[in-house]
Chain A
């Protein structure tokens, strides 16, 4: 039985990626024998998938400066719905295989991209953007480490002007960083191989994250004939739009593409534009904000609660808060400093009640999460900026008086 939520997720994703949604798509059985495939076949969409011909735009930094960003596009060939298989765990020491069937049959969305990317960095950036899109749509949490987003890289090399070379498929990539590494390694390996007069086999390779290289995977049986057959238990999937929706349809039984389109949330690219426009921050700032889960919301929340201009707030968010979070491997949600506290602190700074150096000190104290307010901390550590000019003069004079020699040296030099 087809899972409605899966279809909706696929349509949303297809729309977000500017795909053509096929109003009629079909299901097929792909047959092969493997311990983690309990039915002996996988239900997929080989003939007519649910969405085709889309595109994904992503940004790359040129060189080392964050400030020079370039927009690239990768074409989306298709999105298809299919079933997940179980998981096999090979126990070589006991010569046995353990099969976990818990996820067998669960719905998957497979996104196939065209070979429009040229290196690990591009692949990583594209996938990162895809991740953000999926998370925004709610189609998937897309956490690679948890297997919610699985990426297989197909890599080939060719001389400019010549047709594409033989490709290999690289599997077992568990993070975006490893994706970039795997792709770059494989490119180099192929170049080397061809340079030595060798050939590239159309094979499946696994990425070994420890060694940082790809190795041939256990060969499943040479060329496989999957004996595709239409899935007889699932009628063709018909999707409607506002025009084609029949009048008396029970709306529980149908999916209206236009209805879904109207309710699509703002995609990351739109969100970034809005942040830049609304707060006057730099584009590369908006990227960082969106790149960290919850950071953009935190930023906006602080901005609301403080008089400090967003352009200044952003520095505190991206430089101070973010580095603390990274240092302690915390997520924004886990931050001991709430947006309220930070806003409070920034207000003190803005009102010139403390210096920015003092502010950093207070932040360090707040980070300990002992529940003190910024004001309390300031008072405790006597960090108040002296507003009284005379008092200041006295202190300076005292210092100077105590350091006569130094002063002379300074005045002269």
Chain B
């Protein structure tokens, strides 16, 4: 049986038929989490509650009344989603020890369908970053650093070099979630995507990363970074799974006034065979400076793949692309400055011992609680929001944002169905190399291919495509029309089938051998 069917014929079926129980599944995942601890993908592992949820799921299966396709399926959630009774830290000192009193809507939806929550995953502090390296719990390591594929290709610089020194980053900011899915410790994970934070690590970790249309999935309970761009992101091992997750999460939430009112109908993805009616756009501006020749070649190959299959492939232009990074930074930092204002140490989270006055307590709390990246963005954001700067920066950036969004509208109106672009500029960098530049520089570089979709609110997905010369995953991105996730995922699924991205070969997973995992490991997409 094929990996792509794991939810339906594989694990879901296995659960239904009693070939494996939710408790066994949960225990296996928990054990794997323990043995892959060096990845630092999880901040909190909720062993007790997970096992309890698994038990309850088991009861339901015994009675023949599972809640649905996700009943008993282990999942992980990025640590910037509120989870009732479970610590939510956003990888920051500011929220260390903070226990949320409620579940984010998306978390609640998953739990209501019987999913088993394994834990909260690691990220860049407050989701600011593109490496998952700047959280207080330390960086996340890309599981591919320990893969056979990577090890074979890497040339050890010295005989005594061990796996400690040339591990590569996951990308960010949802690196923990991407690593968790990539290393088989869970079957799906929630991330968030503001400028690419789900798609970027998905590309580096070789998993599917879906950024849904803004307004489709509720942000209630997602600790906000940029309210007008944040979306919950979905990370899975195949496109079909992403569609299933999307189906269980999308829809209007009265608690989030930015979700659309229209009814959402979950869909099953058709197996597309004929792409001749499809028009794929290749935006020329996405041939960005710094794009590796490898990825460029892969992008080109992918375009040819569509062409040879009969699709119409056209070069298009999104002329305002080059302004998007700057525009993004202005709007992002402005909203960040606003959203971070609530962290004053009074009601929850870290509070400084400084007591001389309210102001000094606030200042000390915020200096102690936030890292440099966060503080930097707050300062910038406040600068842009000053009365004398508001028109020059904030309003201007909003106008540019409108132009960027219009670029997409024009292109889609001209008959193009889907855009095909690279997701990242290169494969994952070694950690030691990545930290040579600061967070701001890295973000500016890495976000360039992903953040326009956030500015325009469009759905976008990373599909793992091939391994680089260094043996690391490279993904390509598809961007679709607003609320046309079905079309987007259908095309993505077709592409996934064509490229047959290899399964990661991890020692730790080999050791946790059992039927289910054996099937999972075997690579072929049939």
Q: A: which residues have CB within 8 A of B?
A: 1-2, 29, 31, 33-35, 38-41, 97, 99, 101, 225, 227-229, 232-235, 253
Contacts and interface: CB of A to CB of B under 8 A. Distances in A.
A16 B325 CA distance: 49
Interface string B70-113: 00000000000000000000000000000000000000000000
B227 A229 contact: no
Interface string B31-68: 00000000000000000000000000000000000000
B406 interface: no
Nearest to A33: B362
A29 B338 contact: yes
Nearest to B343: A40
Residue among A2, A225, A227, A232 with the most chain B CB within 10 A?
A: A227
B257 interface: yes
22 contacts: A1-B254, A2-B257, A31-B385, A33-B341, A33-B344, A33-B358, A33-B359, A33-B362, A35-B346, A40-B340, A40-B341, A41-B338, A225-B386, A227-B386, A227-B387, A232-B226, A232-B228, A233-B227, A233-B258, A234-B257, A235-B258, A253-B261
Contacts of A229: 334-335, 338, 385, 394
- 9 shortest A-B CB distances, which residue pairs? A40-B341, A232-B227, A227-B385, A232-B228, A39-B342, A40-B342, A225-B387, A35-B358, A1-B257
Residue among B258, B346, B386, B390 with the most chain A CB within 10 A?
A: B346
Interface string B253-268: 0111110010000000
Contact of A31 (B257, B341, B344): B341
A228 B390 contact: yes
B255 A1 contact: yes
Contacts, number: 64
Contacts of A1: 254-257
A1 B338 CA distance: 18
Interface in B387-412: 387, 390, 394
B255 to A, nearest CB: 6
Contacts of B359: 33
Contacts of A228: 385, 390
Interface of A is mostly: loop
Contacts of A41: 338, 341
Contacts of B338: 29, 31, 40-41, 227, 229
A238 B209 CA distance: 36
Interface string B321-355: 00000000000001101101111101100000000
B219 to A, nearest CB: 8
B63 to A, nearest CB: 37
A34 B394 contact: no
A228 B391 CA distance: 11
A199 to B, nearest CB: 25
B255 A99 contact: no
A235 B260 CA distance: 11
Nearest to B385: A227
Contacts of A233: 227, 256-258
Residue among B255, B261, B385 with the most chain A CB within 10 A?
A: B385
A97 B227 contact: no
B468 interface: no
Contacts of A232: 226-228, 258, 335
Given A1-B255, A2-B257, A33-B359, A99 B346 contact: yes
Given A29-B338, A31-B338, A232-B335, A40 B257 contact: no
Contacts of B258: 232-233, 235
B72 to A, nearest CB: 33
Nearest to A101: B347
Contacts of A29: 338
Contacts of B386: 225, 227
